[in-house]
A and B are shown apart, each in its own frame.
Chain A
Amino acid sequence: MKQPKIYKLFIGSIIILALSVLSSLAFGARLVSFQEIMNALFTGDNSSFHALVVRERIPRTVFSIIAGASLGVSGALMQAITRNPIADPSILGVNTGASLFVVSGIAFFHIQTSSQYIWFALIGAGVTAVFVYGIGSLGSGGATPIKLALAGAATSAALASLVSAVILPRTDVMNAYRFWQVGSVSGATWEGIITVLPFLIVGMVIGMLSTSALNALALGDDVATGLGVKTGLIRILSALAGVLLCGATTALAGPIGFVGLMIPHTMRLICGPNMKYIVPMSAVGGAVLLTISDIIGRLIGNPGELEAGIVTAFFGAPILIIIAMRAKVRTL
């Protein structure tokens, strides 16, 4: 794709993102007008009720942008490394792995702060990712989509039983987990955002830097090696970035599925196979998707709200089905 066009696209999506941010501040159980949002943001007015409502909505909006961007990039990276169209944290069971570690942490090690959550979630996500990919790539043909999906689904099911076994005797953990496991951006606080931010930045930077090597990897391992790319190293680094991004997001928001699946695919359709464009565009696209999902959840669930994870699963699962239907049977 030509340079000017991709810039137009990028600017266009940034504008869409800005619009969705404004809507995220405006919509909810109580509708706040544009004028009042501006007042609340740019004047130090603490007195009016609307200003307080908008303040309350700022952290979750910021977090939905960050989380969406991370999940989008994470999905793009995982799909590129595995050269597999259905690689996504939720399908590979990585989210459930993170859940199990966090739940065990709460139950056995009495962790409480979000920074401790993150470490447990990251380790859980990493271990599960390696494990599922390892099992999925055994045998002839390497990690085919169907083998990976089955390994992920089965591992997820097994881990979910373990999670239940851990939480069942502990009602307090059960209650916290029940809301965490759906995946929601509503619980975001500034403190939590600041804790996950370093992890996400590191993941993003590695992701962006590895794009040209990933482009080479798309040509096949032999060609990539011929072009001077250390395929093993780049796989490990990008996988690390992918796990950092989705693990840290999961720690704060709970498992939000399918953002990492839908967004890179859509971006590949829009701006072609060049990873240099796909990765940044996936970040913007993921942010837009999650913010909008959160808004939809708030509007549908009014006066309560529908967790963003449920909304994304509803949009995302049909996309997976479409991918499966369009893919050639041979490659499945």
Chain B
Amino acid sequence: MTKDNHNAIILGFEHRKIRWFTVTILLLILTLLLSTLMLILGNIHYSPDTVLKVLLGEEIKGATFAIKTLRLPRMLSGLLVGIAFGMAGNTFQTMLGNPLASPDIIGVTSGSSVAAVFCILVLNISGNTVSFIAVVSGLFVAGLLYALSKGGSFTGGRLILIGIGIQAMLNAVISFLLLRANQYDVPAALRWLNGSLNGIQMKNIPGLCIIVIVFGTCNAVLGKHLKILELGEQYATALGLNADRTRLLLIMSSVFLIAFATATTGPVAFVAFLSGPIAVKLVGTGNSNVIPAGFVGAILVLGADLIGQFAFDIRFPVGIITGILGAPYLLYLLIRMNKRGGAA
């Protein structure tokens, strides 16, 4: 390799690093901006000044209740759930080598949903127990997927097809539970079909927060290995990576993220699906996009919730907005991918 070549490679590497940093910082700023907007906007708009005072513990009549009891949990859950879905979705997509193989298409999210719906509607329990059972159920579905598709190569299409089958079955169970539920109300049903940030209380937040911090870090650290896994099984092994163990860890931590998020807000449509591809577009290939994907997820959820709350006469739950916004992008992605033969 000549010296010039070497320099060019180093320069490119630096260049990509700088791009990664700039994009990530910009995404972070946008996330914070939307979070602040979530606190400011509402039936009554409070000035940033008031919001800050309330957050610092000052008692202001009306504002304290609106911000601390209603808007803060909503904002925090949107933020955390977005990060969780974004990171986990991106991990699944990268690992399976197919942007369409996100957990909400291959049944992992549905696995958690079923458990959560069952707990809430049939067993009448709530809180962290639901999240825990959702995690177990999500892990079970992921394990089942893994076991059933073991015969072929793990990244192959078989897993995706089997996942779609499992998804169909789980959705039938959810429909059944919703139809049988006594006196369930319409918003409750929609929450479990689409996801919604309505009615989240502060007590739901700490558990979710811990999970996102622990497993989010875990995913971000393993993101480097994910890049190697992407090269394919043989290369990964040759480069000294224990492919099976890394994959297991990544799946575990992603399922934890998804299950906790799903148990809190329901499956917010398309966030897990869209965050990864958008992050790749922004950051460019060659860098780990786990962290940017998390921010993109948060931006999608917060932005969609703001739109859902204020853009129409009726308040739409966040999942419907992400679903509708996501649809055109999804189709674009499908068309582009199939043209390149990426999904085959």
When the two chains form the complex, which single residue of A158, A164, A321 contacts B165, counting CB atoms closer than 8 Å?
A: A321
Q: Is the CB of A332 within 8 A of B157?
A: yes
Measured in the bound complex, the distance between the Cα atoms of B322 and A165 in whole Å is: 11
Measured in the bound complex, the distance between the Cα atoms of B341 and A22 in whole Å is: 51
A224 to chain B, nearest CB (A): 24
Residue A303, interface by CB 8 Å: no
Measured in the bound complex, the distance between the Cα atoms of B330 and A153 in whole Å is: 11
Q: Is the CB of A165 within 8 A of B161?
A: no
In chain A, residues 148-174, which have Cβ atoms closer than 8 Å to a Cβ of chain B? 149-151, 153-155, 157-162, 164-165, 168-169, 171, 174
Interface stretch of the complex, out of A28-36, A66-74, A176-184, A214-222: A176-184
Q: Is the CB of A146 within 8 A of B148?
A: no
In chain A, residues 138-154, which have Cβ atoms closer than 8 Å to a Cβ of chain B? 138-141, 144-147, 149-151, 153-154
Q: Is the CB of A150 within 8 A of B165?
A: no
In chain A, residues 112-161, which have Cβ atoms closer than 8 Å to a Cβ of chain B? 135-141, 144-147, 149-151, 153-155, 157-161
Residue B203, interface by CB 8 Å: no
Residue B166, interface by CB 8 Å: yes
In chain A, residues 236-287, which have Cβ atoms closer than 8 Å to a Cβ of chain B? 257-258
Residue B301, interface by CB 8 Å: no
Measured in the bound complex, the distance between the Cα atoms of B149 and A147 in whole Å is: 17
Residue B331, interface by CB 8 Å: yes
List residues of chain A with CB within 8 A of the CB of B171.
313
Interface stretch of the complex, out of A8-16, A48-56, A201-209, A304-312: A304-312
Residue A26, interface by CB 8 Å: no
List residues of chain A with CB within 8 A of the CB of B158.
324-325, 327, 329, 332
Residue B240, interface by CB 8 Å: no
Q: Is the CB of A135 within 8 A of B168?
A: no
A138-B339, A149-B161, A160-B323 in contact; A317/B316 too (CB < 8 A)?
Answer: no
B113 to chain A, nearest CB (A): 13
List residues of chain A with CB within 8 A of the CB of B173.
310
Chain B window 136-170, contacts with chain A (Cβ cutoff 8 Å), 1 for yes, 0 for no: 00000000000011011100111011101111110
A141-B341, A161-B327 in contact; A324/B189 too (CB < 8 A)?
Answer: no
Measured in the bound complex, the distance between the Cα atoms of B151 and A157 in whole Å is: 28
Q: Is the CB of A332 within 8 A of B327?
A: no
A88 to chain B, nearest CB (A): 10
Residue B11, interface by CB 8 Å: no
Q: Is the CB of B334 within 8 A of A135?
A: yes
A160-B323, A161-B319 in contact; A317/B179 too (CB < 8 A)?
Answer: no
Chain B window 328-344, contacts with chain A (Cβ cutoff 8 Å), 1 for yes, 0 for no: 00110011011111111
List residues of chain A with CB within 8 A of the CB of B8.
none
A86's nearest neighbour on chain B, judged by CB, is B161
List residues of chain B with CB within 8 A of the CB of A171.
186
When the two chains form the complex, which single residue of B175, B316, B334, B340 contacts A165, counting CB atoms closer than 8 Å?
A: B316
Q: Is the CB of B169 within 8 A of A313?
A: yes
B171's nearest neighbour on chain A, judged by CB, is A313
B329's nearest neighbour on chain A, judged by CB, is A158
B100's nearest neighbour on chain A, judged by CB, is A150
A182's nearest neighbour on chain B, judged by CB, is B175
When the two chains form the complex, which single residue of B148, B168, B189 contacts A313, counting CB atoms closer than 8 Å?
A: B168
Q: Is the CB of A329 within 8 A of B165?
A: no
Measured in the bound complex, the distance between the Cα atoms of B7 and A111 in whole Å is: 69
When the two chains form the complex, which single residue of B176, B180, B269, B341 contacts A140, counting CB atoms closer than 8 Å?
A: B341
Q: Is the CB of A314 within 8 A of B169?
A: yes
Measured in the bound complex, the distance between the Cα atoms of B37 and A310 in whole Å is: 43
A215 to chain B, nearest CB (A): 27
Measured in the bound complex, the distance between the Cα atoms of B180 and A275 in whole Å is: 41
Residue B270, interface by CB 8 Å: yes
Instruction: Report 26 cross-chain contacts, Cβ distance below 8 Å, ordered by A residue.
Output: A137-B338, A138-B338, A139-B338, A146-B157, A146-B160, A146-B343, A146-B344, A147-B338, A159-B327, A161-B323, A164-B193, A164-B319, A168-B190, A178-B189, A181-B175, A304-B180, A307-B179, A310-B172, A310-B175, A317-B165, A317-B172, A320-B162, A320-B164, A324-B149, A327-B158, A329-B152
Q: List the interface of chain A (C-beta within 8 A of B).
A: 86, 90-91, 135-141, 144-147, 149-151, 153-155, 157-162, 164-165, 168-169, 171, 174, 178-179, 181-182, 257-258, 304, 306-307, 309-310, 313-314, 316-318, 320-321, 323-325, 327, 329, 332
Q: List the interface of chain B (C-beta within 8 A of A).
A: 98, 100, 104-105, 148-149, 151-153, 156-158, 160-162, 164-169, 171-173, 175-176, 178-180, 186, 189-190, 193-194, 269-270, 273, 314, 316-317, 319-320, 322-324, 326-327, 330-331, 334-335, 337-344
Closest 8 CB pairs of A and B: A161-B323, A158-B327, A313-B172, A317-B169, A146-B157, A320-B165, A324-B161, A332-B157
Known: A147-B338, A182-B179, A329-B153. 17 other contacts (CB 8 A): A90-B168, A135-B338, A144-B157, A145-B161, A146-B344, A150-B164, A162-B324, A165-B320, A178-B178, A179-B179, A258-B168, A309-B172, A310-B173, A317-B166, A318-B165, A320-B162, A325-B162
